[in-house]
Every structure is written in structure tokens, then in C-alpha cells.
């Protein structure tokens, strides 16, 4: 089986850990946000048999569709919405949530707006973008962080991964990129 795999998500849902677990897969390369500094055609130029985990792809779904369409396997990595919102709120002054609420997407947003509501708006927007994108794709799987001990092995099974499931799952017992 030869294909690219894209793990789409809001961020703050275990994406770094998921990528670390994928690094245990021997018949795919994998990476986390490996092409974020690339533009134009280079942004979508992933190696064959590669697993890419990148929450920013949710803003590039048209280009992802044009380049890979239904010829890729897509994972929607998810986590309990309230946990994601709380994690983004801890990072309110930096990263993608700052870009979303700052002079990027939410122009003219009051400085007095409830930060939790802004984070919830971001999470719901990205989730709905991903859901719509995946609605016409054949090779799709939702993976829930809360169910990772069963969902990750199923993911590996669906992509015919050559992996030690025990070694891969061990990454989910570690903490990577936690919000302070």
C-alpha cells in the first residue's frame, strides 16, 4: 500500500504525541508541521508514504484537496472540546490562537471579549472545516485522544503499518508540548 496520510486537527489535542507515536512506524516517514515554512507548490509537496501531522493544514484544505484529493488517507485527530479550549486559553497570547483573534482572522474583535469564547470559536471553526473537507473522502478515520489505546492500533491496522504497537502507545504515556 502506497499513500500519504494527513492528520488534521485543531491543535492542543495530542498532535505532537501522535506524531511521536507515528515515528515508530517503519514503513512510513512521519513528521509534525514539517512544511509550515514553505509556500506555493512546495507547501503541499510531501514525500510518498508519509504521515504528516499539522493543525495548520485545516486552513489549507482547498490546496490539500487539489493536490491529494481522495488519493490520501485522512485522520481527524480529536479531543474533548473543553480540554482543547482550556489548553488554548493557556496559550492565548501566542501561537495560532493569537493569530486567529489578533489582526488575522477575527478583525476588530474587542479586547474585552471572553478568551474562553474566542478559543471555543476557533476550535469549532476548525473542527467544522475539517468535517466538511472529510465529508466526501473515502479513506477517513476519527481518532479520539481519550480513546487512543484502541484508536491508534486501529489506525495502524487501517494503514497496514509495520509497527510495534506497544512502543508506539508508550508515547501517549509521556507529555510533549503541554500548555503551562
**Tens digit of pLDDT at every position of the chain (180 positions):** 569 999 999 999 999 999 999 999 999 999 999 999 999 999 999 999 999 999 999 999 999 999 999 999 999 999 999 999 999 999 999 999 998 988 778 888 888 899 999 999 999 999 999 999 999 999 999 999 999 999 999 999 999 999 999 999 999 988 777 777
* Architecture per CATH, 4-79+129-173: 3-Layer(aba) Sandwich (3.40)
What are the sequence ranges of the domains in the chain? 4-79+129-173
Reported in sequence order, the residue ranges of 2-71 that DSSP labels E, i.e. its strands, are 4-8, 29-32, 50-53
Total residue count of the chain as it appears in this document? 180
Q: In angstroms, rounded to a whole number, what is the distance separating the alpha carbons of residues 143 and 128?
A: 16
Amino acid at each position: 500500500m502506497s499513500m500519504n496520510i494527513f492528520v488534521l486537527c485543531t491543535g492542543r489535542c495530542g498532535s505532537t504525541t501522535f506524531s511521536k507515536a507515528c515515528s515508530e512506524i517503519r514503513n512510513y516517514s512521519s513528521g509534525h508541521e514539517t512544511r509550515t515554512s514553505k509556500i506555493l507548490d512546495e507547501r503541499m509537496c510531501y514525500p510518498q508514504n508519509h504521515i504528516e501531522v499539522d493543525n495548520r493544514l485545516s486552513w489549507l484544505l482547498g490546496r490539500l484537496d487539489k493536490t491529494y484529493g481522495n488519493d490520501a488517507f485522512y485522520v481527524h485527530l480529536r479531543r474533548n472540546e473543553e480540554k482543547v479550549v482550556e489548553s488554548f486559553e493557556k496559550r492565548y497570547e501566542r501561537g495560532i490562537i493569537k493569530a486567529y483573534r489578533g489582526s488575522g482572522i477575527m478583525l476588530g474583535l474587542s479586547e474585552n471579549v471572553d478568551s474562553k469564547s474566542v478559543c471555543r470559536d476557533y476550535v469549532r471553526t476548525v473542527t467544522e472545516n475539517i468535517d466538511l473537507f472529510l465529508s466526501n473522502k473515502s479513506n477517513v478515520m476519527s481518532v479520539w485522544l481519550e480513546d487512543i489505546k484502541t484508536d491508534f492500533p486501529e489506525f495502524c491496522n487501517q494503514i497496514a503499518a509495520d509497527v510495534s504497537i506497544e512502543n508506539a502507545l508508550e508515547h501517549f504515556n509521556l507529555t510533549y508540548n503541554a500548555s503551562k
